Amino acid sequence: MYYTHQLPPNPAFISGFFLFYLAIAVFYVVSSWKIYTKAGQPGWAAIIPIYNIYVLMKIIGRPGWWTLLFLIPYVNIAFVIVTAVDLAKSFGKSTVFAIFGLFLFSFVGYPMLAFGNAKYVGPAALSKTP
């Protein structure tokens, strides 16, 4: 018969992990707030769940009903990529920046849009020709 002894979680580790996660979350909120204000939208909209996606759709020029597509599992991954491309182009950046900076390495790309010299040039999805 085998007995396993599991140690209780270390409170210092849990506290440290929580503080690290909280710092990252605050950094994302501040970056999103700044992106929204650069685009002429209210910054507080970045902290309201689901409404923040709706406002992001306005920023990139997509219809508001696309917000619902973000709630469908697996479908939302494709729409996150399309949204990242449109957001990058709305700030005058390339598709490569969207894929690498906003989709794969968002912890670098979003602060670059927020605090860098990127200017909002208008909704990218509306400027496409059919």
Are residues 14 and 20 in contact, defined by beta-carbon separation less than 8 angstroms? no
H helix count then E strand count, the chain: 6, 0
pLDDT higher than 80, residue 42: yes
More confident call, 7 vs 97? 97
Burial of 27 (0-12, 13-18, 19+ CB in 10 A): middle
At 127 the pLDDT is 66
pLDDT higher than 90, residue 47: yes
Q: What mean pLDDT comes out for the span 78-98? A: 94
pLDDT higher than 90, residue 28: yes
Q: What mean pLDDT comes out for the span 14-24? A: 92
